[in-house]
Structure 1
Amino acid sequence: MAQPEVKTESAGTVVVAGAANLAIAAAKLVAGLISGSAAMLSEAAHSVADTTTEVLLFTALRRGARPADARHPFGYGKESYVWAFFAALFTFVGGAGFAITHGITTILVHEHSGNFVISYVVLAVSFVIEAISLARALRQVRRESRRWGTTPRRFLRLTADTTVKAVFLEDSAALIGLLLAGCGVALSELTGDELWDGIASVLIGLLLLVVAAILAYSNLSLLVGRAVPERLQHEIERSLAGLPEVDRVGMLFTMQLGPEDILVAAKVDFRDDATGAEVEASADEAERRLRERYPEVRYLFLDPTDSMPGGIARTPGEPEPPIGDGPVDPGRR
């Protein structure tokens, strides 16, 4: 069985974003210390949090791609969500916490050295660099969404590759944060009141809270064990039910084991006159069909028995009850 590998495109997106954030963080910190701007220092904390997040996301990709072993027969895919969850928590505590507290302090104390020029220069350069990083993430999102025949927005909502989702959201938040910081610095310069600088800092912190909450929820849901999207669930069932020896699929269970790993287990009612050899051949054909169309289906288990009393028994084409938002793997819904 093929083993999971580090997704090269996602790793590249994370590395580019991390390098950009590290350079930007240093520039913002210098500008913030020289100008005394709370918004600039908050943006520096924002970039430091993003840089640390990229390191954790890269760790997630590496650790989650380790092959299965005796103690972890289904591999380490879910570990990638653990590290991604840590990344969301760091954004929450490190970035949002600093930005909000420092902004409130600025509102109360009103301290600023009055050197605004360096802030504008750093904000402009940072905006260009963040835009380049976001463009790379957006290209990957669009490419993957086309692959699964869905919209970029739905892909981001359903994808199990939380690393690219995190980079996209963080880069988007970074650009919004730079605009907020620019407005705060400009209004402070025009009015002579540092209230605006402090408000901008608080807004940047709240923005980070929203991003952290979205990422934490996504990773937590996957850690608990989310099913695949409903559309993919239906297609898997139709594929199994379309086998010649199968009368119906009584029950179907799926779980996202990692960004590129899906487990499928089904209770299948084979024809009464099917021989053992035919059942075995049918199971092999089911595995071949699913993996040919969906390489992410790494584990397939079929139980050749009748449906349990009171279980979900459906015939092909019969409406199914809603399964809810499934796990990641985007566009299959």
Structure 2
Amino acid sequence: MSAGGGTKAIIAALLANLGIAITKFLAFLLTASSSMLAESIHSVADSGNQALLLLGGKRAKRHATPQHPFGYGRERYLYAFIVSIVLFSVGGLFALYEGIHKIQERHPIDKWQWVPVTVLVIAIILESFSLRTAIMESNHVRGNTSWVKFVRHSRAPELPVVLLEDIGALLGLVFALFGVGLTLITGDGLWDGIGTIMIGVLLVAIAVILAVETKSLLIGESATAEHVDAIAKAITAGPEAERIIHMKTLHIGPEELLVAAKIAVHHDDSADTIAHGIDTIEKRIREAVPIARVIYLEPDLFSAARAAADPTPKPVE
């Protein structure tokens, strides 16, 4: 995924959430609705999350140093993980607390009754535009992949995070509208509390999904199956290597891939021939998979007995 696409979606979501947060908080001050307060905090948390994603993207562009020889690309994963923590603690847990408190001390919305409904409807419209931007940017890189697989297997965290946040924001607004609407109709603040709890459960669920997915990226994930297959074909496409003995890949950033492979060379190749062959293979790999930035190829002689005893997973050839 290009960083530009992710940045555009993040900025669209940030602008929408800042405006929505202000209007929701004003509605809470006028009506004392717990659903509006929960949604205000939700939008503030989302705004902070988008700022974190922008910060992570900026810090990830720093050049490699002796202390961090592979660069800072994985900072984008770190900040996406922090987003899940913020969404869980600030958004979800606060909404659950506020909803339970509202049910214990329920009261109707007896002033400015039109304000929360108007604010929520406008917020739904604005969030729909933000979600539309995220969907359009995701479609540029998603291809034929399903939305579930895109969120689960994308190596770039920004668009999946923004997508889940925008979907959560829209559902949260619907839940708030449900709670506020029934409170206005029945005069019972119980529904306001129930709507708030529904928002809290939703945010906690989304935060858990984000945490699980970004934790996997932080630990280190291999290249996608398509990239692994393309790299394997690039290695064996010419006469330089007889076969791949074993190969490992690792994302050192969303758009940076480390490739390490032990390749079998011909028994009678000279050192000069082997060195030239490795350079040729590296060129083919970078042409096939441009994000393969760091490549280590180790020449060796193939031994069937040693290969059978090696537990390392072998690539598909």
Superposition TM-score tier, normalisation by shorter sequence: over 0.9
- Cα distance in 1 for partners of 2:42, 2:316 equals 51
Residue 315 of structure 1 deviates from its aligned partner by 8.3
CA distance in 1, matches of 2:284, 2:126: 44
Contact 2:21 2:44 in 1 (8 A): yes
TM-score (ref. length: structure 1): 0.88
After the TM superposition, which residues 167-246 of structure 1 pair with which residues of structure 2 at under 5 Å, given as runs?
167-246=162-241
1:40 — aligned with what?
A: 36
Structure 1 segments unaligned to the other structure (5+ residues):
1-5, 318-333
Which whole-Å CA distance do the structure 2 matches of 1:228 and 1:255 have between them? 6
Query: Alpha-carbon deviation of 1:19?
Result: 1.3
Aligned residues: 310
> Structure 1 residues 313, 167: closer, same or farther in 2, change over 3 A?
closer
Q: Secondary structure at the match of 2:117?
A: helix
Tell me which residue corresponds to 1:286. Answer: 281
Q: Distance in 2 between matches of 1:135 and 1:120?
A: 23
Match of 1:131? Answer: 128
Q: For structure 1, which segment, 49-58 or 272-281, has the greater mean C-alpha deviation from structure 2 after superposition?
A: 272-281
Q: Paired residue for 1:120?
A: 117
Residues 237-284 of structure 1, C-alpha deviations (whole Å, 9 max, x = no match):
222122312111011111111111110100111122333233222222
Alpha-carbon offset, residue 143 of structure 1: 0.6
Task: Give 1:231 shift.
Answer: 3.2
Distance 1:269 1:7, change over 3 A: same
Work out the CA distance in 1 between the residues paired with 2:67 and 2:271: 32
Give the match for residue 322 of structure 1: none
The C-alpha deviation readout for 1:148-167, integer Å capped at 9, x for no partner, is x5344422221111111111
Q: TM-score, normalised to structure 2's length? A: 0.92
The 1-side partners of 2:145 and 2:235 are apart by 23
Match of 1:73 in 2: 69
Q: What is the CA–CA distance in structure 2 between the aligned matches of 1:210 and 1:200, rounded to whole Å? A: 16
- Once the two structures are superposed, what CA deviation does each residue of 1:101-128 show, in whole Å capped at 9, x if it has no partner? 0000011100233232101110111111
C-alpha distance in 1, partners of 2:316/2:125?
52
Q: Secondary structure at the match of 2:248?
A: strand
Q: What residue identity is the alignment partner of 2:60?
A: G
CA contact (8 A) 1:248 1:314 kept: no
Q: Alignment partner for residue 261 of structure 2, among 259, 263, 266?
A: 266
Residues 129 and 313 (structure 1), Cα distance of their counterparts in 2 relative to 1, 3 Å cut: closer
Question: Is the counterpart of residue 92 in structure 1 residue 88 in structure 2?
Answer: yes
Of 142, 149, 158, the residue aligned with 1:163 is 158
What is the aligned counterpart of 1:53 among 46, 49, 59? 49
Q: Is the 8 Å Cα contact of residues 36 and 112 (structure 1) preserved in structure 2?
A: no
Contact 1:141 1:156 in 2 (8 A): no
**Aligned AA (1:219):** T
RMSD across aligned positions (CA): 1.8
Structure 2: 5+ residue runs without aligned partners?
none
Please name the residue that 1:275 is paired with: 270
Deviations 1:153-184 (Å, cap 9, x if unpaired)?
42222111111111111001101111111111
Secondary structure of the corresponding residue to residue 304 of structure 1: strand
**Contact 2:229–2:316 (CA under 8 A) maintained in structure 1:** no
**Are 1:302 and 2:297 an aligned pair?**
yes
1:29 aligns with 2:19: no
- Equivalent residues of 1:267, 1:304 under 8 A apart: yes
Whichever residue aligns with residue 58 of structure 1, its letter is L
Contact 1:248–1:315 at 8 Å: present in 2 too? Answer: no
Q: Is the Cα–Cα contact under 8 Å of residues 245 and 274 in structure 1 kept in the other structure? A: no
